[in-house]
Each structure stands twice: as structure tokens, then as C-alpha cells.
């Protein structure tokens, strides 16, 4: 548990450092290609500092805004409010801020930088489709992410790695499809963009690999198990996961950068090599199997 926290804090710094090196490298290339020279590196350094600061202190707000989550009052969802408060007591952490996403696809995520600055967001679909025990299972899973500092690493990854990934995706596409539209005046700039796009295209799988490394599937299993330590009822989460995986509706506000935050992959019909690289979720069947094994062990005793 304590090693887990230490490792997450270490990895968070690693993400920041690698991201900064990457941005500086891009700045260097940019400076070489244009007449900026070292100005490019300087510009990149400014960007890297700004992005790291934003990523560390404000990634939760960015993530919540990206997911169109709105804060709730107790009067509106007393049921959810009580469940979250109860599990925060069970975990011995501050009560996280609570958000709801108006979407009928059942899913949930936690974000923030530490247990004192954390938030849990659930979709309205989750509240409709799960019973209390299942909802407690899901919230306990998220509470474990908060307690383990998984949220810091995962939220940083959204802002740093995710943005690079989205950018490379976008640049690559404009590189493929934008070629014909280029006119005389834009040739030079277009050429630079194409080159940057090409570099990013080569680096994108590496970045995706980095993301997978940072957010190993192991931590989902871990959150499942330590969540169960809070509810003492593995079947709640197991049957919630079964329900979530049966639901084929994709969550519209989720994208490649935020998908790894959710308890189950919100991009349902993914396929193709790139998407597989981004698949940070372990197979649900395996998660359910492990949870049910916990139930079984308990029965033997």
C-alpha cells in the first residue's frame, strides 16, 4: 500500500520529466526548421513549465470539464451523496467532491492530485442501472484509486500524454488529407507541420506504450481488491462490472485521452492497432473472476 503510493508519486514525476524532455525536443526541431534557433527551445521550456504546472494542479478540473461533469448538491442525489460519504469514512479519507455526467452509459471515474483534493464523477446511467450494493462496489473501487494516489498519475497522464496523443492523431490526419489543399504561400508552414506530424506519428506508439507503462493494468486489479477491503463484499463490484460490460452504449464525453480513467473502457466498439495500444483496461471477465475468487475464499473460512 505505502509502496504503491510511493511508486505512484515517483511515476507522476517521471511523466512530467519525460513530457518536458519531449516538448523541449520538439522545440529544438521547431527552432532548427524555422529561423528561431534556440528561441524554439526557450519557447518549449516555457510551454513545458506551464503544462507541468497545469497538469499537476489543475488536471482534475480539465478532466472534469472534458467529461462535462457537473458538481452536485446533496438535495439532488442524496443516495449517491450518502454512498460516497460512507465509503470516504471507510477509507479514512476526506470526502471527495462529487460530480455527475448526464449520460445514460453507466461509468465512473476519480480524479485529483491527492486524497485532500479529489473528485468522483459518475454518470446518471450508473445511478439508474446499479443497485446500492453494486454502486458501493464501484465507489469503493474509485476510493481506492484516490487513496493510492492513482488519481494523480492518471490525471497527469490525461493532460500530458493524452494531449500529445490527440495532437499527433490530429496532425497525422491533416498530414494525410491536407496535402492537396496546400497553396503556394502555405507550403513552407505545411512542410513543417507535415514533418512534425511525421515525427509524432513515429513517436505516438512509443507514447502510447509509455501510457500503458504508467497505468499498468495491475492497478485496476489492485483497486478492485482494495475496494473490496472497504465494502467487504466482492460480489457487489463483480455484479456491477458484469452489468457495465453488458451495456454496449459508448460514453460520448470520453475520448482516448480520458478513457483510461474510467472503471470500464467507455469507448465500447474500439478496434485497430492504435486503439489497442491505448487499451489500458484489463479484460473485465478476468476482473470479475478474481473478485468472485475472493468471495469463494471468504466462504471457505
Enumerate binding residues for other proteins (CB under 8 A): 78-79, 81-83, 85-87, 89-92, 132, 230, 232
Question: How far apart are alpha carbons 44 and 38 in whole angstroms?
Answer: 10
Neighbours of 27 (CB within 10 A): 22
Complex with other proteins: residue 70 or 232, whichever CB lies closer? 232
Smallest separation (angstroms) from other proteins to the CB of 79:
6
What's the CA gap between 113 and 289, in Å, rounded? Answer: 31
Query: ∠117-166-168 over CA atoms, to 5°?
Result: 135
Looking at the chain, how many residues does it have?
301
Is residue 142 annotated as part of the catalytic site, yes or no? yes
Selecting among 134, 136, 142, 220, the annotated active-site residue is 142
Please say which residue, 66 or 133, places its beta carbon nearer to other proteins.
133
User: Given the complex with other proteins, which of 68 and 232 has the nearer CB atom?
Assistant: 232
What gap in Å lies between CA 259 and CA 281, rounded to an integer?
9
Phi, psi of 6 (to 5 degrees): -60, -40
Question: Which of residues 232 and 298 has its CB atom nearest to other proteins in the complex?
Answer: 232
| Residue 142: CB minimum distance to other proteins, A | 15
Least separation, in Å, of the C-beta of 226 and other proteins?
Answer: 12
Q: By the 8 A CB rule, do 232 and 298 touch? A: no
The least CB distance from residue 86 to other proteins, in Å, is: 5
Which sequence positions are flagged as catalytic?
142
Amino acid at each position: 500500500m505505502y509502496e504503491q503510493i510511493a511508486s505512484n508519486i515517483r511515476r507522476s514525476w517521471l511523466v512530467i520529466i519525460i513530457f518536458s524532455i519531449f516538448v523541449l525536443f520538439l522545440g529544438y526541431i521547431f527552432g532548427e526548421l524555422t529561423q528561431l534557433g534556440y528561441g524554439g527551445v526557450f519557447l518549449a521550456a516555457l510551454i513545458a513549465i506551464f503544462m507541468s504546472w497545469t497538469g499537476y494542479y489543475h488536471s482534475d478540473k480539465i478532466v472534469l470539464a472534458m467529461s462535462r461533469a457537473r458538481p452536485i448538491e446533496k438535495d439532488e442525489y442524496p443516495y449517491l451523496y450518502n454512498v460516497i460519504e460512507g465509503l470516504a469514512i471507510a477509507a479514512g479519507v476526506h470526502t471527495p467532491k462529487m460530480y455527475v455526467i448526464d449520460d445514460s452509459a453507466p461509468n465512473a471515474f476519480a480524479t485529483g492530485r491527492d486524497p485532500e483534493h479529489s473528485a468522483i464523477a459518475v454518470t446518471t446511467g450508473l445511478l439508474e442501472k446499479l443497485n446500492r450494493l453494486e454502486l458501493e462496489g464501484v465507489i469503493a473501487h474509485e476510493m481506492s484509486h484516490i487513496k493510492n494516489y492513482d488519481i494523480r498519475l492518471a490525471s497527469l497522464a490525461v493532460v500530458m500524454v493524452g494531449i500529445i496523443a490527440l495532437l499527433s492523431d490530429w496532425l497525422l490526419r491533416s498530414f494525410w488529407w491536407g496535402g492537396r489543399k496546400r497553396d503556394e504561400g502555405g507550403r513552407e508552414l505545411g512542410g513543417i507541420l507535415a514533418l512534425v506530424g511525421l515525427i509524432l506519428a513515429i513517436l505516438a506508439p512509443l507514447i502510447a506504450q509509455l501510457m500503458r507503462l504508467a497505468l499498468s493494468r495491475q492497478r485496476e486489479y489492485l483497486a478492485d481488491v482494495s475496494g473490496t477491503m472497504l465494502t467487504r463484499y466482492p460480489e457487489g463490484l463483480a455484479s456491477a462490472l458484469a452489468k457495465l460490460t453488458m451495456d454496449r452504449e459508448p460514453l460520448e464525453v470520453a475520448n482516448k485521452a480520458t478513457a483510461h480513467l474510467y472503471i470500464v473502457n467507455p469507448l465500447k466498439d474500439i478496434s485497430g492497432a492504435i486503439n489497442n495500444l491505448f487499451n489500458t483496461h484489463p479484460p473485465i471477465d478476468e476482473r470479475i473472476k478474481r473478485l468472485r475468487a475472493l468471495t469463494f475464499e471468504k466462504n471457505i473460512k
